């Protein structure tokens, strides 16, 4: 990028709320059902069907607003946003327009604060699936299972100045919503989708340039690519004397480029008007207090507590609070272990590696946190050596079994009984007079030979501390 130019970026993030049912009817929100099976007259948009607002959806939306430091409004109004599309049978989306339910929030990304202008609630459209491109099978299929799924749209201020900042902001949004339990935030399932508004201006210029809006970017990588491409494209146009057209664009993941979809619609194109079938949403102080008191601990607070309560390093804390599932798992393991640092090492080390290899999320971890804690305890008590623990752990991962059971079954108990080890050592010393001679003659490296023999005799199960102490004594 030529350094004369400064990008200006604002993001609109659509987030699917984690409700069991749709926002205006009681149809289930599910992925994987047969097409057009989770539908009813309301979400099919049949004439005369009346929407009823879901209390669950509102409560999650409120928690989302609180997680993003927004001011929840005592009164907000649903509005119809009218447009035609085959997967929008009502002919309008129910959204909020000039009176959204949340305003004026922010999120910090590495020392910089990104403003959040507003959040509004809305319903999702259905899905169009375009089939092959041969003339004979050029069909588009419409699946309305998604129609009526509750969303919040989070609109940022144009405070973002680079693709990397955009990714950091989106990451922070995702983390906040995930910790608050507002959304499952599964980007592959489209729970989070982002529209990227991008313009560029000459450095020092105060006025913003004309922006384009790239729609429906659904991964961090694509977000970075789309914005970087768009910045370069706009600079190219401007430097060759052209003008930026305000338009809506799409990102093509194959080429990494954005392309024009349509000229940008204006608000008046949507003929917004207040939804006549719904009363204004009133969120009184009592309700707001009840919902906010049910908020789980947010990432920043949790990081601070992990540092002070467990004495963990900055790095450990960041890794362990990356997702709520990780943080929850770690805390359960640490409690069971009675040693937070040791539990942290296992979670970030062997467990993370095993999960990665198995392609599993920690939320679906085959090792219950309590079992990992128990493993740490067995090491601390000397019943297991670190080496044996590393042998047992993969078996815990494969079977979900508790470490004590596996030790029992596999006969992997560490031998710490000094009497038993002493007997073995006496035998080895008696059988190897030459090595004893060498050691006593000053060749201290022979000690390794004896340790090795003891380990061999005990299949690696002798407690190394006890072995070393006894050997030192006997070989004196």
Contacts to ligand ADP by CB under 6 A = 8-12, 155-158, 197-199, 208-209, 211, 213
Q: Map residue 450 onto helix, strand or coil.
A: helix
Q: Any contact of residue 94 with Zn ion (CB under 5 A)?
A: no
- 40 token code pair: 């009813």
Q: Which one, 119 or 369, has the nearer CB to ligand ADP?
A: 119
Provide, rounded to whole angstroms, the least separation between the CB of residue 230 and ligand ADP: 10
Provide, rounded to whole angstroms, the least separation between the CB of residue 244 and ligand ADP: 10
165 binds, among Zn ion, ligand ADP, Mg ion, none (CB under 5 to 8 A by kind): none
Size of the site for Mg ion (CB under 5 A): 1
The torsion of the CA quartet 431, 433, 435, 439, rounded to 10 degrees, works out to 130
Q: Is residue 97 within 8 Å of residue 77, measured between CB atoms?
A: yes
| Alpha-carbon span 75 to 200, nearest angstrom | 36
| Alpha-carbon span 234 to 231, nearest angstrom | 5
Q: Which one, 143 or 153, has the nearer CB to ligand ADP?
A: 153
Q: How far is CA 105 from CA 98, 108, 134, 155, in A?
A: 17, 11, 49, 10
Provide, rounded to whole angstroms, the least separation between the CB of residue 6 and ligand ADP: 11
The values of phi and psi at residue 54, to 5°, are -80, 125
- 193 token code pair: 């989708």
**Single residue of 11, 15, 17, 43 touching Zn ion by CB under 5 A:** 43
Size of the site for Zn ion (CB under 5 A): 5
Nearest to 199 by CA among 246, 253, 157, 258: 246
Q: Which one, 205 or 437, has the nearer CB to ligand ADP?
A: 205
Give 347-378 as a DSSP string: IIIIIHHHHHHHT--GGG-SS-HHHHHHHHHH
Q: Which one, 106 or 449, has the nearer CB to ligand ADP?
A: 106
156 binds, among Zn ion, Mg ion, ligand ADP, none (CB under 5 to 8 A by kind): ligand ADP
Q: Any contact of residue 57 with Zn ion (CB under 5 A)?
A: no
Helices (H), 9-85: 41-44, 55-67
Q: Any contact of residue 15 with Zn ion (CB under 5 A)?
A: no
Q: Which one, 164 or 391, has the nearer CB to ligand ADP?
A: 164
Stretch that binds Zn ion, among 35-43, 181-189, 245-253, 297-305 (CB under 5 A): 35-43
Stretch that binds Zn ion, among 36-44, 73-81, 292-300, 387-395 (CB under 5 A): 36-44
Stretch that binds Zn ion, among 32-40, 151-159, 169-177, 329-337 (CB under 5 A): 32-40
- 273 token code pair: 């008007």
Q: Which one, 269 or 410, has the nearer CB to Mg ion?
A: 269
Nearest to 386 by CA among 397, 398, 375: 375
Provide, rounded to whole angstroms, the least separation between the CB of residue 7 and ligand ADP: 8
Q: Any contact of residue 144 with Zn ion (CB under 5 A)?
A: no
Block residue for tokens 């540092």 = 307
Q: Which one, 202 or 440, has the nearer CB to ligand ADP?
A: 202
| Alpha-carbon span 84 to 89, nearest angstrom | 8
Antiparallel, parallel or unpaired: β 212-217 and 247-252? parallel
157 binds, among Zn ion, Mg ion, ligand ADP, none (CB under 5 to 8 A by kind): ligand ADP
40 binds, among Mg ion, ligand ADP, Zn ion, none (CB under 5 to 8 A by kind): Zn ion
Any idea what DSSP says for residue 311? -
Applying the rule CB under 5 A, the residues between 5 and 64 that interact with Mg ion are 12
Q: Is residue 454 within 8 Å of residue 421, measured between CB atoms?
A: yes
**Single residue of 15, 27, 173, 231 touching Zn ion by CB under 5 A:** 27
27 binds, among Zn ion, ligand ADP, Mg ion, none (CB under 5 to 8 A by kind): Zn ion
Block residue for tokens 């002070």 = 308
- Total length of the chain: 476
Q: Any contact of residue 125 with Zn ion (CB under 5 A)?
A: no
121 binds, among Zn ion, Mg ion, ligand ADP, none (CB under 5 to 8 A by kind): none
Nearest to 333 by CA among 374, 284, 361: 374
Q: How far is CA 66 from CA 163, 295, 301, 330, 430, in A?
A: 26, 8, 14, 25, 74
Stretch that binds Zn ion, among 18-26, 112-120, 335-343, 367-375 (CB under 5 A): 18-26
Provide, rounded to whole angstroms, the least separation between the CB of residue 306 and Zn ion: 42
Interface positions with Mg ion (CB under 5 A):
12
């Amino acid at each position: 990028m030529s350094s004369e130019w400064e990008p200006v970026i604002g993001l609109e993030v659509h987030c699917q709320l984690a409700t069991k049912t749709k926002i205006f009817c009681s149809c289930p929100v599910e992925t994987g059902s047969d097409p057009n099976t989770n539908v009813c007259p309301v979400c099919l948009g049949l004439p005369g069907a009346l929407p009823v607002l879901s209390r669950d959806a509102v409560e999650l939306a409120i928690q989302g607003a609180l997680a993003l430091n927004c001011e929840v409004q005592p009164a907000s109004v649903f509005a119809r946003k009218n447009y035609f599309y085959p997967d929008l049978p009502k002919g309008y989306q129910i959204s909020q327009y000039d009176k959204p339910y949340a305003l004026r929030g922010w999120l910090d990304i590495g020392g910089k604060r990104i403003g959040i202008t507003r959040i509004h609630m809305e319903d999702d459209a259905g899905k169009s699936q375009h089939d092959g491109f041969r003339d004979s099978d050029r069909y588009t299929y419409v699946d309305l299972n998604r129609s009526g799924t509750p969303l919040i749209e989070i609109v940022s201020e144009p405070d973002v100045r680079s693709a990397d900042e955009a990714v950091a902001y989106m990451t922070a949004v995702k983390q906040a919503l995930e910790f608050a339990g507002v959304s499952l935030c599964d980007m592959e399932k489209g729970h989070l989708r982002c529209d990227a508004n991008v313009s560029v201006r000459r450095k020092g210029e105060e006025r913003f340039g004309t922006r384009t809006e790239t729609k429906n970017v659904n991964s961090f990588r694509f977000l970075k690519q789309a914005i970087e491409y768009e910045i370069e494209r706009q600079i190219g146009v401007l430097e060759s004397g052209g003008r930026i057209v305000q338009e809506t664009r799409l990102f093509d993941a194959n080429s990494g480029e954005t392309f024009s979809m349509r000229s940008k619609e204006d608000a008046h194109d949507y003929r917004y008007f207040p939804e006549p079938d719904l009363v204004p949403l009133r969120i009184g102080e009592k309700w707001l207090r009840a919902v906010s008191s049910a908020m789980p601990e947010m990432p920043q607070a949790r990081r601070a507590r992990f540092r002070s309560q467990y004495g963990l390093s900055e790095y450990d804390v960041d890794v362990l609070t990356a997702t709520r599932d990780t943080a929850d798992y770690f805390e359960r393991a640490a409690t069971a272990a009675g040693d937070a640092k040791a539990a942290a090492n296992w979670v970030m080390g062997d467990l993370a590696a095993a999960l990665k290899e198995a392609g599993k999320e920690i939320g679906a971890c085959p090792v219950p946190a309590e079992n990992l804690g128990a493993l740490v305890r067995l090491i601390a008590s000397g019943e297991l050596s670190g080496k044996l623990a590393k042998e047992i752990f993969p078996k815990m991962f494969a079977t979900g079994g508790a470490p004590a059971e596996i030790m029992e079954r596999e006969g992997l108990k560490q031998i710490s009984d000094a009497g038993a080890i002493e007997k073995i050592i006496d035998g080895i010393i008696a059988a190897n007079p030459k090595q004893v001679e060498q050691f006593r003659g000053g060749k201290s490296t022979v000690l390794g030979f004896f340790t090795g023999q003891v380990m061999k005799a005990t299949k690696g199960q002798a407690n190394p501390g006890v072995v070393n102490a006894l050997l030192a004594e006997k070989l004196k």
